[in-house]
Amino acid sequence: MMTPIVETYDLWKVYPMNGTGVEALRGVNLTVKAGELVALVGPSGSGKSTLLHLLGAMDTPTRGEVRLNGRSLAQMSDAERTRLRCREIGFVFQTFNLLPMLSALENVEIALRLAGVPGQKRRARAAQLLESMRLEGRMRHLPRQLSGGERQRVAIARALANRPALLLADEPTGNLDSTTGESIVALLRQLNSQGQTIVLVTHNAEVANQAGQMLQMKDGQLQH
């Protein structure tokens, strides 16, 4: 039996607007087990990214609960949630979110620095990750000197820096051409085959079909 990494119970997210509330999530119950690759699909506004942000402790639900490795995020202090995001959750974004004045190596290193990893050790770990992404010749390059696919591979290396229990990817191929996007999906599948638990949001049916589990969202709910 695979252990649940993430569990949500009756998860709601309501945003106040014009004196009423917009229900972005409505009673979502979800379990992601260790080693799974799960794709969240659905139209814009269906709640996919909202759910991903709650799984990643980047936002808090209006009601309901998120548990990571059996621990309730609601019972954690702000400092504990920050530490959790740094050390146990990796994030990959559509827009890469690399710091433009830092090299590829330094962009990966910064995640390790935030986790308190000492200088020499974090430099070695960052270099190892970039080599695994086939970027050994690009480590000193700034983001603007890299292609879109290379930037996304740097972003994935950064997300993996602290060996997270959970990797969250929000439209990781959204800013890439189809061939480059396919290479990023192949990389994510390879990581998953090595045991990395991944939840990704995508509009791309071809990407979603390569996940072990595809979950459809509509109007803030998971469709069963």
Average pLDDT for 113-126:
92
pLDDT at 129: 95
- pLDDT tens-digit series, residues 30-73: 999 999 999 999 988 899 999 999 999 999 999 999 999 999 99
Q: How far apart are CA 174 and CA 105, in angstroms?
A: 24
What's the chain's average pLDDT? 92
pLDDT at 1: 59
pLDDT at 26: 95
**Would the pTM count as exceeding 0.75?**
yes
pLDDT at 207: 84
* Residue 133 pLDDT grade (very low, low, confident, very high; cuts 50, 70, 90): very high
* For residue 224, pLDDT beyond 90: no
Burial (Cβ within 10 Å: 0-12, 13-18, ≥19) of residue 62 = middle
Instruction: Tell me how crowded residue 197 is: count the other CB atoms within 10 A of its CB.
Output: 23
DSSP the chain: -PPEEEEEEEEEEEEEETTEEEEEEEEEEEEEETT-EEEEE-STTSSHHHHHHHHTTSS--SEEEEEETTEEGGGS-HHHHHHHHHHTEEEEETT----TTS-HHHHHHHHHHHTT--HHHHHHHHHHHHHHTT-TTSTT--GGGS-HHHHHHHHHHHHHTT--SEEEEESTTTTS-HHHHHHHHHHHHHHHHTT-EEEEE-S-HHHHTTSSEEEEEETTEE--
